[in-house]
Amino acid sequence: MANRDIRIVLAGPRGKMGTAARNLIANTAHFSLVACLDHKPPTETHFSEEEVPIFTDADRCFSEVETDVLIDLTTPQAAKAHLECALDHHIRPVIGTTGFTDEEIEQLRAKAESKSLGAMIVPNFAIGAVLMMKFSQMAARYFDDVEIIERHHDRKLDAPSGTALKTANLISDVRGEKKQGHQNESETLEGARGGQVEGMPIHSVRLPGLVAHQEVVFGGSGQTLTIRHDSIDRGSFMPGVKLAVETVMATKTLIYGLEQVIE
């Protein structure tokens, strides 16, 4: 890693994740916040960041401010536009939202590699959640039947969560498609068995008071195994944000998920 500071633009600075990210940057010796990118001007939001310009236009921001890394904690739609714009300006993006298709990820990976830039799309920054996904993939080699239950705050827009889908995909890599439950089961209430990924039901809970929680429940003959992770507050995500920023500075491709860089 270079001796100088890593110059960071933060997109989405006003939310709970954005506030935690600003604190992370301020308290990391080799990180420097050089600008914020917001969808509203500070005059409308009463938000301000001392000595740091706030932009509403990504292209203008990246043109005027010398930047190494973009941390994006916005929405899937905004993040996709910001990611492309960052790469166009030779800036390494760290994207903390979901909603990218496999085709989009491959296209963006090709673009990052063509520019020799590191990039990351991270469904979940909590290192404990990444380990939960890895442990679940390990368990799936020995248990064929599994259901995923994810719980999040009621302001979350997407369901199921990107973490749940990523977990299901990792399990699918080592487990063949299987219809679970009774072969003749039926739902008397539509959706009661949850969404399905190759026969794995995923159930989503949205309630105030929650942050981010997931359990993966495996069933076998005479036993069950539950692997669970809980994020109690947004501080749980910051070590993963720091790791992602340092990773994109040292790689020249797009990486999807922290599990790719955690052994």
- 98 labeled binding residue: yes
If you average pLDDT over residues 226-240, what whole number do you get?
A: 93
Residue type, 240: G
Residue 1 located in a structural domain: no
What percent of the chain clears pLDDT 90, i.e. is strictly above it? Answer: 78
pLDDT tens figures, 154-191: 988 889 998 999 899 999 999 989 989 888 999 999 99
Residue 115 included in any domain: yes
First to last CA, the chain: 20
Q: Is 239 annotated as a binding residue?
A: no
Residue 138: CATH number of its domain = 3.30.360.10
Residues 60 and 73 in one domain: yes
Q: Are 240 and 216 part of one and the same domain?
A: no
CATH of the domain at 249: 3.40.50.720
Provide the annotated active-site residues: 152, 156
Residue 218 sits in the same domain as residue 133 = yes
148 plus 205 within the same structural domain: yes
30 and 114 both lie in a single domain? yes
Q: Model-level pTM? A: 0.82
Same domain for 179 and 242: no
Asked whether the predicted pLDDT for residue 1 surpasses 50, the reply is no
45 pLDDT tier (thresholds 50, 70, 90): low
d(CA 88, CA 62): 9
Distance (Å, rounded) from C-alpha 28 to C-alpha 23? Answer: 9
125 is in an annotated binding site: yes
Of 67, 152, 88, 106, which Cα lies nearest the Cα of 11? Answer: 67
Looking at every residue in the chain, the average pLDDT score rounds to 92
Q: Is 15 annotated as a binding residue?
A: yes
Residue 19's pLDDT is what?
A: 92
Q: Are residues 242 and 163 in the same domain?
A: no
Listing from the earlier edge strand, what are the strands of the sheet with 200-206?
195-197, 200-206, 145-152, 212-220, 223-231
Q: Residue 82 sits in which domain range?
A: 6-125+235-260
Q: Are 33 and 25 in contact, with CB atoms under 8 Å apart? A: yes
pLDDT at 140 over 70: yes
Residues 153 and 182 in one domain: yes
40 versus 195: which is more confidently predicted?
A: 195
**197 and 207 together in one domain:** yes
Cα separation, 66 vs 52, in Å, equals 13
18 marked ligand binding residue:
no
Tokens of 62: 């990246």
Residue 194 domain flag: yes
Looking at residues 106-115, what average pLDDT do you find?
Answer: 96
pLDDT at 2 over 60: no
* Residue type for position 19: T
Short-list 215, 235, 236, CA closest to 224: 215
Distances (CA, A) of 160 to 39, 168, 206: 25, 11, 10
Residue 96 lies in a domain: yes
Q: State how many domains the chain has.
A: 2
Alpha-carbon distance of 133 to 18, in angstroms, equals 25
Please tell me whether residues 26 and 59 are part of one structural domain. Answer: yes
